């Protein structure tokens, strides 16, 4: 994966998140609160190693059994439904999760 491609994928993810957060502010707030809970119970993602071996940078929802919210703004009340990823892998997770949730 080249950097330019990664940058445009990150930019697109941010664009979608911003757009949906504006459209659904209550859901965006719940996503924020859910992330705060994950930080509270599990700590800074930088204390973890991503699956690829890099230092993790962010928490991402990976277990979709209990998700609530909107397809672009999913969250879970259970902090164990999240895993720590570096940004490039987090973008993969975001895109894959979006496809999975759309397919339901
Ligand atoms: Zn990674």
**Number of domains observed in the structure of the chain:** 1
Residue 63 pLDDT more than 80? yes
Q: What does the pLDDT look like over 38-55, one tens digit per residue? A: 999 999 999 999 999 999
Residues with CB under 5 A from ligand 1 (ion): 50, 52, 54, 86, 89
Q: Residue 72 belongs to what domain range?
A: 3-102
Q: What does the pLDDT look like over 74-98, one tens digit per residue? A: 999 999 999 999 999 999 999 999 9
For Cα atoms 44, 75, 77, give the angle at the middle one, nearest 5 degrees: 80
Going from the Cα of 33 to the center of ligand 1, the distance in angstroms, rounded, reads 24
* Contact present, 71 and 98 (Cβ < 8 Å): yes
Q: What does the pLDDT look like over 13-37, one tens digit per residue? A: 999 999 999 999 999 999 999 999 9
State residue 2's pLDDT score. Answer: 67
What is the pTM for the complete model shown? 0.91
């Amino acid at each position: 994966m080249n950097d330019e491609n990664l940058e445009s994928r990150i930019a697109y993810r941010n664009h979608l998140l911003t757009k949906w957060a504006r459209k659904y502010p209550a859901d965006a707030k719940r996503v924020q609160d859910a992330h705060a809970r994950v930080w509270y119970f599990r700590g800074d993602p930088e204390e973890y190693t991503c699956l690829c071996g890099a230092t993790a940078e962010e928490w991402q929802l990976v277990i979709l059994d209990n998700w609530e919210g909107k397809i672009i703004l999913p969250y879970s009340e259970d902090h164990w439904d999240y895993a720590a990823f570096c940004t490039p892998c987090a973008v993969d997770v975001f895109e894959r999760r979006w496809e999975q949730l759309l397919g339901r």
